[in-house]
Chains A and B, each alone.
Chain A
Amino acid sequence: MARVLILGAGIAGHTAALHAKRLLGKKNEIIVVAPNSNYNWIPSNIWVGVGKMYKEQVIFPLAPIYKRKKIEFHQGLAKSIYPEGDSKTASPFVEIAYTDPNRSNEFARIKYDYLVNATGPKLNFAATQGLGPEGHTVSVCTAGHAVEAAASLKDAISLMKLGKNQTLAIGVGHGTCTCEGAAFEYTFNVDHELRMAGVRDMADLVYITNEYELGDFGVGGMVFTQRGFQTTSKLWTESLFRERGVRAILGAHVEKVETGKIFYEQVDGNKNVLEFDFAMLLPPFRGVDLAAFNKSGEDISSQIFAPSGFMKVDADYSGKPYEDWKAEDWPSTYRNPTYPNMFAVGIAFAPPHQISKPRKSPNGTVIAPSPPRTGMPSGIMGKLSILTIADLINKGSDAKAHSASMAKMGAACVASSGSGLTKGSAAAMTMFPIVPDFQKYPNTGRSLKDTYGEIGLSGHWIKLLLHYLFIYKAKARPGWAFIPE
């Protein structure tokens, strides 16, 4: 009997847990450690953030699901990994601190044979002074944050109804942020809500981003074929900005935020101030605070984790120059090279480099969108890690690892630009592969046949369908395993 320990219960971790139980559960132990008591379908936080959904519609308690599926659940925070055990314990284990209010101040050591690190990101608001709900901006990264954002937006709309013009700044709060797509979604959902409230003419809506061009989305932009022409996501996105009357500030690193003021530097080295009344800025991500120790108790964190705090896997971390980057640099099995019984999936794995071209201002400030690896890729990686573990357990240690490289994987992204069954809209995009492969697709890095974008009401329906479908799946209702990641 083997013990499979999964750290995290987001899209990657929860998907891994359910598949582990399905594939291995009868004879093996499946254990999940996650700091939150609830699952959060994060893509729909955008709608909570504009008051179109209640928090309760995007979260549900994990404990009853795990109880029903006979998965052992510990509500706690993983603090350190001992992949060789220690002087007293031969088996590898993870030390956790309980966040369960009924077990506060308790700690535990949980042994494992296979570890899946799906801890997601640490929301690094501290990287930018004054950023975040404890500073001067709101966020939609968690359901709780989104509720605060909706309340703040409602206040701004009330002021506009009283005749007071408002500047609404939406975007990312650091030069190395990821998730520009979420900021884009929130921008256009806010635009939609302002129009519905009849106050759009009272608002100056400004999108502030670290992207060098609109439509970059942290993946270096895309090229689509539309009506017999190749067009770029840049032009496509600029068209939407023109249609909706949204201003853009590009290539920006937010240095600090004060009450009503965003201080930022751009790629050209210029430093400016954007005054605002409402600001939703996403934070940069880093790995969670997790340390690793060897058998003799020496700290081996730098061997296991990249400087960003994310776990090293089977990627090329040699730090090659941008011109030498290749699709093969990206990991395919997500196994840690030092301890191959450890996997890191979803946001928790360390990407070998950015996908968008990284840039530096003349002052040396790095302005480089980090690669997105949320949603669909996270789910696929979570499942893949369990398929490999299942083969290792059932077929032996020589079993070939399953592969899910982001350089061979497509992604579907539906970016909401307004909700409503008849008045909503969304930008539906597909790209293949996520990481461009210029060896295989010399012109654009991606398959023109499979890279596609379209704006319309149907996109909103798809996003709504995905909301209900993936919450159904996450609740492990009958037939959940037939719903793909």
Chain B
Amino acid sequence: MENPQDAIAHAPLPTAKTLRFRRNIPVQIWRFVAINIKMLNMIRKGHNQK
């Protein structure tokens, strides 16, 4: 079993730009719309099983 602390220490660290994007209001409004569309697709598939 690998040491999780080693794995965490070697995981990709988001850059300052990525962190800014995660809180940038216009970008996040766009992501809000995009993720909601993805989720609605999930819901549609789950409700329409043959």
Contacts and interface: CB of A to CB of B under 8 A. Distances in A.
A143 interface: no
Given A243-B13, A404-B46, A459 B8 contact: no
Interface in A22-39: none
Q: Which of B4, B12, B32 has most A Cβ within 10 Å?
A: B4
Given A376-B46, A458-B31, A235 B38 contact: no
A455 interface: yes
A450 interface: yes
Interface string B15-31: 00001011101011101
How extensive is the interface on chain B, given as a class? 20 to 34
Nearest to A424: B23
Contact of A242 (B13, B23, B38): B13
A248 interface: yes
Contacts of A461: 28, 32
Nearest to A402: B49
Contact of B47 (A332, A380, A452, A454): A380
Contacts of B38: 412, 430, 450, 452
Given A452-B38, A458-B35, A462-B36, A484 B43 contact: yes
- Judged by DSSP, the binding face of B is helix
Nearest to A214: B4
B32 A239 contact: no
A347 to B, nearest CB: 17
A294 to B, nearest CB: 33
B42 A243 contact: no
Interface string A244-272: 00111111000000000000001110000
Contacts of B8: 214, 238, 241-242, 246-248
Contact of B1 (A212, A405, A409, A459): A212
Contacts of B40: 484
A376 B32 CA distance: 19
Contacts of A267: 1
Contact of B13 (A239, A450, A484): A239
B12 A457 contact: no
B49 to A, nearest CB: 5
A409 B46 contact: yes
A380 B19 CA distance: 35
A450 B42 contact: yes
Contact of B11 (A239, A402, A454): A239
A410 B44 CA distance: 9
Contacts of A408: 45-46, 49
B46 A239 contact: no
B28 A248 contact: no
Contacts of A402: 49
Residue among B11, B12, B13 facing the most chain A CB atoms (10 A cut-off): B11
Contacts of B36: 462
B34 to A, nearest CB: 8
B12 A235 contact: yes
Given A214-B7, A267-B1, A403-B49, A456 B42 contact: no
Contact of B22 (A239, A377, A452, A455): A455
Contacts of A212: 1
Contacts of A332: 49
B33 to A, nearest CB: 8
Interface in A404-457: 404-405, 408-412, 422-423, 425, 428, 430, 432, 450, 452, 454-457
A148 interface: no
B45 A409 contact: yes
Contacts of B13: 239, 242-243
B28 to A, nearest CB: 4
Contacts of B22: 425, 455-457
B29 to A, nearest CB: 7
Nearest to B29: A458
A238 B7 contact: yes
Contacts of A250: 1, 4
The 9 closest A-B pairs by CB, nearest first: A238-B11, A410-B42, A458-B32, A458-B31, A412-B39, A409-B46, A456-B22, A248-B4, A458-B28
Given A402-B49, A408-B46, A456-B21, 14 more contacts: A242-B8, A242-B11, A243-B19, A376-B42, A409-B46, A410-B41, A410-B42, A411-B42, A432-B45, A452-B38, A456-B27, A458-B35, A462-B36, A485-B46
21 contacts: A212-B1, A214-B4, A238-B8, A239-B14, A243-B19, A250-B4, A266-B1, A267-B1, A332-B49, A404-B49, A410-B41, A411-B46, A412-B38, A423-B23, A425-B22, A428-B39, A430-B41, A456-B22, A456-B31, A458-B29, A484-B40
